[in-house]
Structure 1
Amino acid sequence: MNFFRSAPVWLAAVSAYIVVAFTTTERAVVHRRAVPDSLRSPVHVHVVASGLDVPWEIVWGPDNWIWYTGQSGTIGRIDPRTGENKLLVKIEEVYRHRSLGLLGMALHPDFAGNPYVYVDYTCKKDSVITTKLVRFTYRGERLTNPLTMLEIPAHTGHNGSRIVISPDRKLMFATGDAITITNAQDKGSLNGKVLRMNLDGSVPADNPIRGSYVWSWGHRNIQGLAYGANGILYSSEHGDAVEDELNIIRKGHNYGWPKVEGFCDQPNERAFRDSVEATDPVKSWTPTIAPAGIAVYKGKHFPEWKGAILLTTLKEADLRVLKPDAEGTRIVSEHIPIDGTYGRLRAVCVGPDGSIYVSTSNRDWNPGSGFPKPEDDRILRITRGTKADLAVQNPKGETDSGETGRGALLYRQYCASCHKPDGKGVAGTFPTLHGTEQVRDKARFVQIILKGLSGKIRVNGEEFDQHMPAMGFLADESIAEIGTYVRQTFNRDLDPVRVQDVAEMRGK
């Protein structure tokens, strides 16, 4: 996720619906409007714990404590009443790098008789990176006896990974495509899939492919899994430069990546679906929002949210409430009660009393925009608030009024989460856009925007490992506006990018 794919949190309208309009040439126009007060629910936020090292997963434990994974390899449990934090294990073989580390976690549904904790994490031996699915046993307030249930190839990104236990007591494990474009459509690969296994690690007899863990395929990088009403399994998934998705995961279904992004609405996507059946998402977002953890709401604090899908986001740094229809197969409304205040939000779970818990993700691979704060990372509890809380949530009734120039808006939507609003990037991770050869050479700059980048590049003498998506789906006018904004805001002596410049480079 890189270069021209972003939107800083301060751009987002607090408590907003998002309406995305598409054309065949540009899938990237976003409009926001304020939500009427009658549709907004005031929330109150309390800090449960702070000073954590990226709590990637949080689940409600059988002891009424919050169990969490720390991305650097710790598993702990926190008393939500007092914030007391107890370490359960430090996994030394965890390889932490950017988005890699200790990620998903699920607890055995019969924990008293089977005190098992399932986690997945990345490892590195020499130059080989893998993802392990491991079962620990809980004894004497410690996690012991690690048992490796599965090990699959991994990469420097796109490793998933969420774990949930299904109503029929199967372990569902979401994996990313490991930055290998062929994995998702290859049913012989376990990357880019939702995997289904028995709780002892064996292959269920009723899986769609005999002898295989594969349950569904065609996934790029799933970041959230949760069961809703009627046994529906929802997933949140990162797109490339467009089309983040909310999907319903079904047995034996193909979700299209990399041939289809979001809804099958482009000529090349329709051609693919003429020969291969691909399943559309329930909802998609362009510009992308970097969806993360999801949970389905059941509780008393917000009865109007019953059955809603709670979604945390990284790029937009908000908590969204997605209300489905009675069947759970269509999203009828989208509400944003928390927007930008706490930075990137990673995981979400719901307590028995209906309190909502979310974790922040500000000390991970892409800090910036005022984060991390000294108290990061945090676990927050969300309960019903008052009208005063509602005023704090949206002190100015902000919406995107269009006052900002279109080039600046497009930059914020596609670039700033990586290169930051000031264009200075992140040292060692994302290059600056100030005074670089790649930006000063206009033809080369336009080609980079159109075609993207993959692999190692040198910028101002520093080496970066880049996986920047191509932005050729944008109209020539939009690319010219982005290019002009970058060249004249961060490099004031440079001439603008013209529509003709883009058209000429697009043909090469």
Structure 2
Amino acid sequence: MQRRAVTAVLAAAVLMVTAGCTTDDGEQPDTPGSSTPSSTSGTSGTKKPEGSSSSPAAEETPPAKGSVEVVRTVAEDLDTPWGLAPLPEGGLLVSSRDKGTITRVDEETGEKTELGEVPGVAAAGEGGLLGLAVSPEYASDHMIYAYFTSASDNRIVRMLYDPEKPEGEQLGAPDTILRGIPKGTNHNGGRIAFGPDQMLYAGTGERYEGPLAQDKDSLGGKILRMTPDGQPAPGNPFDDSLVYSYGHRNVQGLAWDAKQRLWASEFGQDTWDELNQIEPGGNYGWPEAEGKGEGDKSGFVDPVEVWPVADASPSGIAIAEGSVWMAGLRGKRLWRIPLQGTKASADPQAFLEGEYGRLRTVVSAGGDKLWLVTSETDGRGSPEKGDDKILELKVT
């Protein structure tokens, strides 16, 4: 197994204390950061969305300590992979952030087939072709959804996928269902996923303009919830609005547990990265608060867990075997957070530390299996032979 040198975490943590605003992996940004955290007012005017779960019944608690086994390398030599979406008939769709292409990977053989290039992608900094999702009606509509950075904004499109057409020509013309998500060199968000309610959720960033996160009229610094056509979903907490939760800095991971509760990972600034359990209409505090301790006095929703930014810089998350599994970019490790209801039942546990470099996306493969995507070719890693990769993991 290919090994990498592990970053000196303590030294990095000291540097983070004295550093200014950071990008997703702790490097200095190209644009100024947001204001220093302080407390302010909390949420108001919210209503519970249709289909949201009530207080959960007792659940089985996963063991405090788990394990990770790298079963095999599924695919190699991927260029700036970002989003990953399993197809119902088999195969994994992976986006290339910088090339703007979508490729199908045969999960058994590793064979790669390029579907085509998404028109209008303007890759720069952390922007480009980002998250992917497959329509909940895929069996009848064969639609693929993509979140990408254009020359003017971030937007979500859907495209018809026709595998019978020649390689490189299998994507239909994009239908834009949402435009106007603020774009920047960094903090573009980008994760999209269909929830158990068949609605499309999107995590967005505030492009280094912290006040956008508190502005419910802006699409930046939010988790959005919409119909497959891009309209505000029935039961959203704010009338005629896509906004599901706000006060976010840069949401990168979305996943639902067995009780259909939504979880999200989020990049911190100088101090704390976060794992949040998302409440409809909840205000998660940015830029007035970062990390725990503000909820009781300000009305903000406190994160469930936090990490020093040198240890995480979290990207995608998945839920398997009763735990959240969180990919770390600057942290170069996979975090396990065992859950009991809406809380962590034990301290987070780190795996694969430094072994595969930066980790971008993790997706459930069913049961105790995960797909894990590395991110060494994104301009901030140290690519080695075979990078980037998709790995198959077995977890407990």
- The one-letter amino acid paired with 2:7 is W
% same residue: 36
Render the CA deviation track for 1:8-27: whole Å, top value 9, x for unaligned. 843359xxxxxxxxxxxxxx
Aligned to 2:230: 201
- Which of 269, 275, 279 matches 2:301? 279
Partner of 2:272: 243
Shift of 1:334: 1.8
Cα shift at 1:223 = 0.8
- Contiguous gaps of at least 5 residues in structure 1: 1-7, 14-37, 298-305, 386-508
Trace 1:120-139 onto structure 2 (pairs within 5 A): 120-124=147-151, 129-139=152-162
**Aligned residue for 2:171?**
143
Letter paired with 2:222: K
Deviation at 1:63, TM superposition (A): 1.7
Following TM superposition, by how much is the alpha carbon of 1:132 offset from its aligned partner in structure 2, in angstroms?
1.2
For residues 148 and 283 of structure 2, the distance between their equivalents in structure 1, rounded to whole angstroms, comes to: 25
**Structure 2 match to 1:29:** none
2:359 is equivalent to residue 345 of structure 1: yes
Q: Deviations along 1:316-339, whole A, 9 cap, x unmatched?
A: 1011111111x1433423222211
Describe the shift of the 1:287–1:175 C-alpha distance in structure 2 as closer, same or farther (beyond 3 A). closer
Residue identity opposite 1:64 in structure 2: G
Q: Matched residues in 2 for 1:330 and 1:191: separation?
A: 28
The whole-number CA distance in structure 2 between the counterparts of 1:366 and 1:293 is 17
8 Å contact kept, 1:229–1:328: no
Letter of the 1:151 partner, please give it.
Answer: R
In structure 2, relative to structure 1, the CA distance for the partners of 1:202 and 1:87 (3 Å cut) is: same
Distance 1:136 1:373 in 2: 33
Q: State the secondary structure of the residue aligned to 1:139.
A: coil
**1:89 is matched by which residue type in structure 2?**
G
Question: Given the alignment, which residue of 5, 10, 23 partners 2:7?
Answer: 10
| 1:309 positional shift | 0.7
Asked which structure has the greater CA Rg, the reply is 1
Quote the residue 1:316 is aligned against.
Answer: 331
Residue-by-residue CA offset, 1:53-99 (whole Å, 9 max, x unaligned): 12101122112211111112111111111001111121242111121
Q: Is the 8 A contact 1:222 1:235 kept in 2?
A: yes
Deviation at 1:308, TM superposition (A): 0.8
Give distance in 2, aligned partners of 1:89 and 1:250. 37
Q: Equivalent residue for 2:343? A: 329
Give distance in 2, aligned partners of 1:353 and 1:40.
15
Is the partner of 1:229 in helix, strand or coil? coil
Deviates more, 1:187-196 or 1:332-341: 332-341
Partner of 1:257: 286
Structure 1 residue 221: Cα displacement: 0.3
Kindly state the Cα deviation for residue 42 of structure 1 after the two structures are TM-superposed.
Answer: 5.2
TM-superposition CA deviations, 1:336-384 (whole Å, max 9, x none): 22111111000011223633211111111313xxx11132111111237
Aligned to 1:244, what secondary structure does the other structure show?
strand
Q: What is the DSSP-based 3-state SS (H/G/I as helix, E as strand, rest coil) of the residue aligned with 1:332?
A: coil
Asked if 1:365 is matched to 2:379, the reply is yes
Q: Which aligned segments of 4 or more residues in structure 1 are displaced greater than 2 angstroms?
A: 8-13, 38-42, 328-331, 352-355
Which of residues 104, 115, 119 is equivalent to 1:88?
115
Distance, in Å, in 2 between the alignment partners of 1:174 and 1:42 is 27
Count the aligned residue pairs. 332
What secondary structure is seen at the aligned counterpart in 1 of 2:211? Answer: coil
Partner in structure 1 of residue 249 of structure 2: 220
In structure 2, list runs of 5 or more residues that go unmatched: 11-63, 165-169
Give the conservation status (yes or no) of the 8 Å contact 2:70–2:391. no
SS in 1 for 2:78: coil
Answer whether contact 2:95 2:131 (CA < 8 A) is retained.
yes
- Does 2:75 correspond to 1:49? yes
Please name the residue that 1:391 is paired with: none
**Aligned partners of 1:45 and 1:117: how far apart in 2?**
28
- Relative to structure 1, the CA distance from residue 331 to residue 185 in structure 2 (aligned partners, 3 Å threshold; closer, same or farther) is farther
Q: Does 1:182 align with 2:211?
A: yes
TM-score by length of 1: 0.62
Once the two structures are TM-superposed, the CA of residue 45 in structure 1 deviates from its matched residue by 4.2
